[in-house]
Amino acid sequence: MTATSVIGLQWGDEAKGKIVDLLTAEHDVVVRYLGGNNAGHTVIFDGETYKLSLLPAGILHSHVVSVIATGVVINPKAFLTELAGIVERRGEVPPERLQISDRAHVIFPYHTAEEAAFEKARGGDAIGTTMRGIGTCYRDKAGRTHAIRMGDLTHPDRLRRRLEEVVPQKNRAIASLDDEFTPFSVDEIFEEYCGYADQLRPYVTDTTAFLHRSINEGRRLLFEGAQGCLLDIDHGTFPYVTSSNSSGCGIHSGSGVSERVINRMIGIVKAYTTRVGGGPFPTELDNEIGQHIREVGREYGTVTGRPRRCGWFDAVATGYGARLSGVDCIAVMLVDVLDGLDEIQVCEAYDFNGVRTTDFPSHVEDLAQMKPIYRTLPGWKTDITGIRKRADLPENAMRYVDTISELVGYPVEIISVGPDRAQTILD
């Protein structure tokens, strides 16, 4: 039994895509199990850049079956556009190589309209979502009465019946929040989504049954996490989170596969911290060092293009994410981004009203009060992007990685020194 999972331990964008791509060579099935087109995973090899959002990174490898499992929320238009882009660059993707769960929930235009109205109503305290209708679709999933699943979409009679129930209610709800709102038409949505359904039908299947069969047949599964532990709806920095279980807790519910089959759980961490959207961020660097990290690390969102907020590595937050997910080891990414710095700080604990703590707080009001207690380490001031072996890393770079390992509490198995697949230290 070989199954691996790749989980972001911070606030997303830890470079999960790069590690999933790297590990795909030794797996047969790659599974996306949560989130939707709020994710942006960049994969670079042979000088080619691929930006994946809803499709698992496995799609770039022809030996692999890519699965979009039950916990994902699917915008059919975004899916088809992304797939067309991949087909253009990498050739046809037959349905045997790409499966979408018939239990996955579908994003409709009213989800984005509702989200825009909700975010506007919060004003300066907006969550800062990606505006892709992710949270409002998950809200309907939990609420049940307005939910429409992929298996409904692919049956026109079921879709029509559901839209006739849901759309008039959505129109009334959104009109009460937004005076300038133009109501949605059942006929227009039905026609548009029937067109998508015709193209999607070959890919839609019972992915849970497929995954269970795959395990019995000895196929090697790779679970591709999206977002990160601190964005988890239950365990993250609520309400500045995404609307699903983006820590390791979500693998089982999102895929229908017990996490007991996973024998290697890899936590992905950035050598510093970034965050997109609102919410407290104790180690944020709102200064020229933060700006330096943003420029060198090209820290601008893949999905929305927003500048990512940058700060020092936070071992309290990351250690919490690692324990939550139950990782076996960690991969430290983007270490090269720190190449030019004289000194580097790592947050090893928080000061909460004069008391030292390494517990991550339950409430953002408390997180906002946490003052980082830093350990200062010397920089290495050397370009490490060409290094391929641990033994060749500058002493101070290795010391920095070892400090992350010590403070987070897990061994470091992978060190990444550049965006390309080849720029990875595995030994």
Integer Cα distance of 43 and 19 in angstroms:
9
Q: Interface with ligand IMO includes 267 (CB under 6 A)? A: no
Is residue 242 near ligand IMO by the rule CB under 6 A? yes
Check binding of 17 to ligand GDP (CB under 6 A). Answer: yes
12 touches ligand IMO (CB under 6 A)? yes
| Residue 18 contact, options ligand IMO, ligand GDP, Mg ion, none, Cβ 5-8 Å cut-off depending on partner type | ligand GDP
- Tell whether residue 248 is a contact of ligand GDP (CB under 6 A): no
Contact flag: residue 71 with ligand GDP (CB under 6 A): no
Considering just the CA atoms, what is the radius of gyration of the chain in Å? 22
Question: Of 134, 230, 315, 317, which lies in the binding site for ligand IMO, with binding defined by CB under 6 A?
Answer: 134
Binding piece for ligand IMO, criterion CB under 6 A, among 103-111, 157-165, 227-235, 329-337:
227-235
242 binds ligand GDP (CB under 6 A): no
Rounded CA separation 123/309 (Å): 19
**Long-range contacts of range 162-171, CB-CB < 8 Å, 24 or more positions apart?**
163/189, 163/190, 163/193, 166/110, 167/110, 170/110, 170/114, 170/146, 171/110
Residue with tokens 């919410």: 279
First-to-last alpha carbon distance for the chain, in angstroms, is: 24
The alpha helices in 217-276, defined as continuous H runs, are: 250-255
DSSP 144-204: -TT--BHHHHTSHHHHHHHHHHHHHHHHHHHHTT-TTPPPP-HHHHHHHHHHHHHHHGGGE
* CB of residue 42 to ligand GDP, shortest distance in Å: 3
Question: Which of 202, 203, 109, 190 minimizes the C-alpha distance to 157?
Answer: 190
Kindly indicate which of the ranges 87-95, 103-111, 347-355, 416-424 contains the residues binding ligand GDP, using the contact rule CB under 6 A: 416-424
Asked if 13 interacts with Mg ion (CB under 5 A), we say: yes
Helices and strands of the chain, counted as H and E runs: 13, 20
Between residues 214 and 244, which has the closer beta carbon with respect to ligand IMO?
A: 244
Q: Among 13, 102, 140, 314, which one carries the catalytic annotation?
A: 13
Residue type for position 294: R
Q: Which one of 21, 27, 41, 314 is the catalytic residue?
A: 41
Name the residues that contact ligand IMO, by CB under 6 A.
8, 11-13, 38-41, 127-130, 132, 134-135, 226-228, 231, 240, 242-243, 276-277
Name the residues that contact ligand GDP, by CB under 6 A.
8, 12-18, 40-42, 44, 297-298, 302, 333-334, 336-337, 416-419
Which residues are catalytically annotated?
A: 13, 41
